[in-house]
Amino acid sequence: MDRATWLEARRKGIGSSDIANIVGVAPAGRGGSLGVWRSKVLAAESEIPEELAYWGNEEEPLLLRRYQRDHPECFVLGPTLRVNDWGRTEYVDQEDVEHDLVTHPEVPIAMASLDGVAYVGDLLAHEPIEVSAILECKNVNAYARGWGADGEADAVPEHLRVQVVWQMGVTGWHQGVILALHGGNDFREHPITWDPELFDYLLSEAVQFWTVHVEGNKPPLPENAEQARMMFPRQTGETLVAEKDSRLDALIWDRVQTAALLAEGKASLDRIDGEIMGRMEWHGTLETHLHEKAATWLAPEQGRSNWKPVAEELRSKIRMGDEKWKQLQDQHRAKPSRTFRFSLKSE
């Protein structure tokens, strides 16, 4: 299917890139369960950075070809790699890619799109073809954490292990390998162990999410303040009273205690910083005894501009009246946004 059809089909189920968000192991900035709900119900676009996604797509056929080179007993196929009439694999241009979507035989909302599949057998000899492994391609930052050495099984960040276990469970093919290119020049293979208990848990969470939030058209609770601001940009002016012993009542007091701990920690940091700065005196940089940079205390070459008096002076020079001045202010005024301030303090 073409990309537009594929994207529409993905809205009708939970894919391998969704499940880590639903169970709460996806990296920050991927939208969480609320992002999944928005993509299914509101057709919102993915929150993966565009540049990262672009290079991931471009590198995918290269990683698949590398795996095939290192495993000559297999041949590899995928949306970006196909077999020609002479039995050789060839690249597929991004605009010509045909996407596949596999669904679970018993739970149709469980879906998976595969980057590639390694097979054993001979296509030209019409021998039986068997699946050797699901292949998942990743473009990885050179400084990314959570990765092991080449060939180390399951030595990947948890959200990627969850993704591949989901693909295994949906397809019924219980061998998977993550192909990762670190920093553009460090290729690693990481076999992923089939975990049926993990898949059963993921499947139950996916079904519950789909039933309650997608079919029930009920967005999940925001996982951070940024998501809450996005969901509720305006207020009604009414007051909400938390019921005794309710979850909201407990959250209020959790917030009070956490704020008290943070305030105590901030005060401690301020005292430590003050003593460090006092001992630095006029020095601009501080290093440890191992000559590792620990701190800097520098002044900028120029101070920050204070634009308000600049604007007032320009106004007086061009003799702008009060009404026109107000219009100019309104023209450049930012849209109002809600500000959350928690006022209750710990005794």
Structural domain boundaries in the chain: 3-215, 233-298+306-347
HSE, CB side, 13 Å, CA atoms: give it for residue 233. 4
Return the structure tokens found at 163. Answer: 């993704």
CATH number for the domain whose boundaries are 3-215: 3.90.320.10
What is the rounded distance in angstroms from the CA atom of residue 210 to the CA atom of residue 37?
Answer: 9
Give the chain's end-to-end CA distance (angstroms, integer).
62
The model's pLDDT over 175-184, given as tens digits with 9 standing for 90+, comes to 999 999 998 8
What value does the mean pLDDT take over residues 183-210? Answer: 94
What sign does the CA torsion over 119, 120, 124, 125 have? negative
Q: Are 298 and 284 in contact (CB under 8 A)?
A: yes
Give pLDDT, residue 207.
96
**H/E element holding 40?**
helix 32-41
Q: pTM for the complete prediction? A: 0.71
Give pLDDT, residue 90.
64
The DSSP code sequence of 159-221 is HHHHHHHHHHHHHS---EEEEEEETTTEEEEEEE---HHHHHHHHHHHHHHIIIIIITT-PPP
What is the rounded distance in angstroms from the CA atom of residue 275 to the CA atom of residue 6?
Answer: 60
Whether residue 62 is predicted with pLDDT greater than 70 in this model: the reply is yes
Q: What is the DSSP letter of 224?
A: S
Q: Is the model more confident about 53 or about 182?
A: 182
Reduce the DSSP state of residue 83 to 3 states and report it: strand
Q: 135 falls in which pLDDT band (50, 70, 90)?
A: very high
Return the structure tokens found at 319. Answer: 């003799």
Lowest mean per-residue pLDDT among 50-64, 108-122, 137-151, 207-221: 50-64
Contacts for 116 with CB less than 8 Å, ≥ 6 apart: 60, 64, 67, 76, 77, 78, 80, 81, 134, 135, 137
The model's pLDDT over 288-319, given as tens digits with 9 standing for 90+, comes to 888 888 888 887 766 667 777 777 778 777 77
The most confident of 21-30, 97-106, 252-261, 332-341, by mean pLDDT: 252-261
What is the rounded distance in angstroms from the CA atom of residue 171 to the CA atom of residue 101?
Answer: 10
What value does the mean pLDDT take over residues 100-123? Answer: 88
Give pLDDT, residue 214.
92
Q: What is the DSSP letter of 344?
A: -
Lowest mean per-residue pLDDT among 155-164, 186-195, 269-278, 295-304: 295-304
What is the rounded distance in angstroms from the CA atom of residue 180 to the CA atom of residue 175?
Answer: 17
Return the structure tokens found at 70. Answer: 């290192």
Helices (H) and strands (E) in the chain — how many of each?
10, 11
Give pLDDT, residue 49.
58
Q: Which of 3, 41, 2, 20 is CA-nearest to residue 210? A: 41
CB atoms within 10 A of CB 111: 23
Lowest mean per-residue pLDDT among 2-6, 25-29, 61-65: 2-6
Q: Is the model more confident about 306 or about 146?
A: 146
What is the rounded distance in angstroms from the CA atom of residue 210 to the CA atom of residue 232?
Answer: 22
Reduce the DSSP state of residue 95 to 3 states and report it: helix
Average pLDDT value for the chain: 83
Give pLDDT, residue 120.
86
Whether residue 67 is predicted with pLDDT greater than 90 in this model: the reply is yes
Q: Are 76 and 119 in contact (CB under 8 A)?
A: yes
Give pLDDT, residue 170.
95
Percent of the chain's residues with pLDDT above 90: 36
Q: Hey, which residues does 119 pair with through a beta bridge?
A: 75, 131
